[in-house]
Amino acid sequence: MNLPGSPFLAVQDGRLCLDGHDLTQLAHQHATPLYVYSRQAMLSALAPYQRALVGRAHLVCYAVKANSNLAVLQTFAQAGCGFDIVSAGELARVLAAGGDAAKVVFSGVGKSRAEMAQALQAGVRCFNVESTAELEVLSDVAAGLGLRAPVSLRVNPDVDAGTHPYISTGLKGNKFGVAHEQALASYRRAASLPGIRVVGIDCHIGSQITEVAPYLDALDRVLDLVEAIEAEGITLHHMDLGGGLGITYTDETPPAADALIAALLARIDARGHGHRELLFEPGRSLVGNAGVLLTEVMYLKRGEHKNFCIVDAAMNDLMRPALYEAYMGIVNTQGTDEPTDTWDVVGPVCESGDWLGRDRSLAVKPGDVLAVLSAGAYGMTMASNYNTRGRAAEVMVDGAQVSVVRERERVEDLFKMERLMG
């Protein structure tokens, strides 16, 4: 058995191992719930992006929201990556991990004045601006600091990425970006503002995309705009083509990163834009299949219509199934010859939506350790303290090294900022 899309998770001597490390043993050493990541799996996922862009002016900006652990950010900073952020908090994380502010692009529809000022003073590479209202405010903040904010406008090309509605971002009905029909006027306004310096154009159509066609459709619309904008004398130094490449959770067959980029480069060159610097913002495709969530089986509860495998991880630890009805593989980390039954894998949180997997064929008993696969992206970053549950610990493996990269929260940590009334 292999981790979908990755050679780093495999059964060895009847035990499930990540990069050679026995996951059952890690669960017993560090307790559960426990996130475990492979540094080498992350670097392996990054390699095809870097290979495909050799010889091109480019910057791969890791999307911090996918997994913002400092050790993960450190891994990509040391590999030469920039970062795509959506908050001042994420900027602080990047800088704490050794990232370079000059390689940071600041996205997001609701940047506050304080966040804008913080990013300007840090010297971020670019603001991906998502509305004309934001342009006006950013110009005012920058001018007040005696600066000009480097800007690309995020253009919404009205392209269907064919993904879940919650993670589709390129349609007219989505909150993101400037409408394609309004983009030229918005660029004219940007060029006229005293605190703005136009540097590029940005497009991001969604997440967990498994086909090349939506990217090419969006690219064609962006290139049409580039030509129209530059015809007005506004120079665009870079094109940011976003991220969103999907991974294999079950039977998806997304294109390889280098194949996707090759198709984009061919279209860019064919239309005479090969001289431009290119930015990409991958997140899930770099970390999703580099991590697992380990959880211990607590109780088995058989019913007339459903069997429930109750584990110690819950929707507060992993929100994707409850939020998106997302399918994530679940396997027993210990080889077993016991016959399988069909189980709903559920957690202790007091919600009917607290489930990690439905109708799964598993051979399990109390005390077994299960691994929820493909949990490196949008796992810990979306975790909460619902039901006053401490968030899980995180461990990174790298060759023979095992490092605790986030300690488990204690109950007293959860209300230390609260106060009783006098």
200/279 Cα distance (integer angstroms): 10
Give catalytic status of residue 350 as yes or no. Answer: yes
State CA 196 to chain mean position distance.
29
Answer yes or no: are the C-beta atoms of 229 and 151 closer than 8 Å.
no
* Residue-level length of the chain: 422
What residues does 355 pair with on adjacent strands?
346
Place of tokens 């966040």: 115
Catalytic residue among 17, 61, 81, 350: 350
The residues pairing with 129 across neighbouring beta strands, listed in sequence order, are 153
Q: Which two three-digit tokens encode residue 234?
A: 């506004």
What is the three-class DSSP state of 131?
coil
**Region of 66 on the Ramachandran plot (φ > 0 left; ψ -120 to 50 alpha; else beta):** alpha
Residue type present at position 282: P
In angstroms, the CA 245 to CA 118 distance is 30
What would the two tokens of residue 378 be?
A: 């949008």
Burial zone of 352 (CB within 10 Å; 0-12 exposed, 13-18 middle, 19+ buried): exposed
What does the alpha-carbon distance between residue 291 and residue 42 come to, in Å, rounded to a whole number? 9
Classify 294 in phi/psi space as left (phi over 0), alpha (psi -120 to 50) or beta: beta
Residue 119 to residue 88: CA distance in whole angstroms:
7
In angstroms, the Cα distances linking 21 to 13, 38, 44, 90, 395 are: 12, 10, 17, 30, 11
The Cα–Cα gap between 343 and 330 comes to 11
Is 98 exposed, middle or buried (CB count within 10 Å of its CB: 0-12, 13-18, 19+)?
exposed
Residues recognised as catalytic: 350
